[in-house]
Structure 1
Amino acid sequence: MELATLALVVLMLAFATIQVGLYYHARKVAQSAARQGVETGRQFGASEGDGLAQAQNYLARYGNSVRGAQVSSAGSSAQQIRITVTGDVATLVPGFELHVSQHADGPIERWTNP
């Protein structure tokens, strides 16, 4: 009986450790996708749509851990671009949902008079 209880506790700790790892990995992928989009969208002559497309391409290649990912540019202005990536984390326990949301922003390159 003690062995069964101890095995259950060890198994739960192992699943919790794996789930924490999946969460942080999904968070990092979402942050990297947002950063890639900002770096593309802030270049001189690029549009906000170019940044969104780059973030979506990044997620298509590496975003298996972020399910149902949504990319938006809410909060962008004429001088600043902001890309937000949101989605759900893959989970080991059915019915247990974790949500991740990451953003990146940066100034848009433009010509100015000295």
Structure 2
Amino acid sequence: MITVARPSERGSTTLETVVLWPAVFLLIFGIVHAGLWFHARNVALSAAREGVRAASLHDGSGGTARAADFLAATTDGSVMRVGDIRETTGADTVTVTVTGSSTTLIPGWRVDVSQSATAPIRRWSAP
């Protein structure tokens, strides 16, 4: 059976395409952008964990340098731009916080990433 479009429906396919494709592209770019942000968040968390692990073994110091070394070894700046790495030492704990911004698909748009990790300071005592 052959169907023939009525004259009142001419151009409806073009109109559907004009409305549909921008929504499809927005959905695709949104998914890719969310993936980039999630990956940058995981990299920042891994750097914070590496830093806090190193600092907890060395009386609460050296975490900032270890987190920076981890970021330099794992990313070339294409995943995230590191803004600051901070180390805070309390009486029994140490916290390393890595902040920066994720790579974006939209020029000029900045998506901040901040992750921190806390661990107890390990103190060794002689028996």
> In structure 2, how many angstroms separate the alpha carbons of the residues matched to 1:11 and 1:53?
41
Q: Tell me how far 1:48 sits from its aligned partner.
A: 4.1
> In structure 2, how many angstroms separate the alpha carbons of the residues matched to 1:109 and 1:68?
28
Give yes or no for the alignment of 1:58 onto 2:56: no
Give yes or no for the alignment of 1:84 onto 2:83: no
> In structure 2, how many angstroms separate the alpha carbons of the residues matched to 1:107 and 1:6?
54
Q: Which has the larger radius of gyration?
A: 2
- Normalization by structure 2: what TM-score? 0.79
Which residue is equivalent to 2:4?
none
- Divergent runs of 4+, >6 A: none
> In structure 2, how many angstroms separate the alpha carbons of the residues matched to 1:60 and 1:33?
10
Give yes or no for the alignment of 1:99 onto 2:89: no
Q: Tell me how far 1:42 sits from its aligned partner.
A: 0.8
> Is the Cα contact below 8 Å between 2:101 and 2:113 reproduced in 1?
yes
> Is the Cα contact below 8 Å between 2:82 and 2:98 reproduced in 1?
no
* Pairs aligned (count): 111
Q: Alignment RMSD, CA only?
A: 1.8
> In structure 2, how many angstroms separate the alpha carbons of the residues matched to 1:61 and 1:113?
36
SS at match of 1:73: strand
Unaligned runs of 5+ in 2: 1-14
> In structure 2, how many angstroms separate the alpha carbons of the residues matched to 1:84 and 1:22?
20
Q: Tell me how far 1:70 sits from its aligned partner.
A: 1.4
Identity of aligned residues (%): 38
